[in-house]
Amino acid sequence: MTFSVAATTAAVPPSIPAAMPAAQPQVAAVTGRCAGCSARSKGLCAALTAGELPDLSASSRPLDLLSATPVVMEGEEAEAVFTVMSGMLKLYKTLPDGRQQITGFATAGDVFGLAAGQGYAYTAETVTASTICRMPRAALRRMMERHPAVQGRLLAMTSVELSAAQDQILLLGCKTAVERVSSFLLALSRRSRPLPDGTPSVFLPMPKVDIGAYLGLRPETLSRVLRKLEEAGAITRLTNDRIRIENPAALEAAA
Q: Is 169 in the site for DNA (CB under 7 A)?
A: no
Q: Is 249 in the site for a second copy (CB under 8 A)?
A: no
Q: Is 218 in the site for DNA (CB under 7 A)?
A: yes
Q: How many CB atoms lie within 10 A of CB 137?
A: 16
Farthest-apart Cα atoms in the chain, separation? 62
Q: Give the one entry of a second copy, DNA, none that residue 186 binds, where binding means its C-beta sits below a cut-off of 5 to 8 angstroms depending on kind.
A: none
Measured CA to CA, the distance from residue 9 to residue 149 in angstroms comes to: 27
Residues β-bridged to residue 148: none
Q: Is 160 in the site for a second copy (CB under 8 A)?
A: yes
Terminal alpha carbon distance of the chain: 34
> Of 93, 216, 236, 244, which lies in the binding site for DNA, with binding defined by CB under 7 A?
216
Measured CA to CA, the distance from residue 70 to residue 122 in angstroms comes to: 11
User: By the 8 A CB rule, do 82 and 133 touch?
Assistant: yes
Q: Which is nearer to a second copy, 218 or 244 (CB)?
A: 218
| Binding span for a second copy by CB under 8 A among 30-38, 65-73, 171-179, 195-203 | 171-179
Q: Which has the closest alpha carbon to 1: 125, 114, 156, 164?
A: 114
- Rounded to the nearest whole angstrom, what is the least distance from the CB of residue 18 to a second copy in the complex? 23
Express the helix, strand and coil content of the chain in percent, nearest 5 each. 45, 20, 35
Q: Give the one entry of DNA, a second copy, none that residue 227 binds, where binding means its C-beta sits below a cut-off of 5 to 8 angstroms depending on kind.
A: DNA
E strands in 1-99: 61-65, 70-72, 80-86, 89-94
Binding mask 75-94 toward a second copy (x if CB under 8 A, else -) reads ------------------x-
- Rounded to the nearest whole angstrom, what is the least distance from the CB of residue 88 to a second copy in the complex? 19
Q: Is 218 in the site for a second copy (CB under 8 A)?
A: no
Region at 16 (left for phi over 0; alpha for psi -120 to 50; beta for the rest)? left
CA 243 vs CA 23, 34, 39, 199, 228: distances in Å: 47, 34, 26, 11, 14
> Of 129, 177, 187, 232, which lies in the binding site for DNA, with binding defined by CB under 7 A?
177
Q: Give the one entry of a second copy, DNA, none that residue 159 binds, where binding means its C-beta sits below a cut-off of 5 to 8 angstroms depending on kind.
A: a second copy
Q: Is 122 in the site for a second copy (CB under 8 A)?
A: yes
Q: Is 223 in the site for DNA (CB under 7 A)?
A: yes
Q: Give the one entry of DNA, a second copy, none that residue 15 binds, where binding means its C-beta sits below a cut-off of 5 to 8 angstroms depending on kind.
A: none
Q: Is 66 in the site for DNA (CB under 7 A)?
A: no
Q: Is 103 in the site for a second copy (CB under 8 A)?
A: yes
Residues near DNA (CB under 7 A) are 176-178, 207-209, 216-224, 226-227, 237, 240
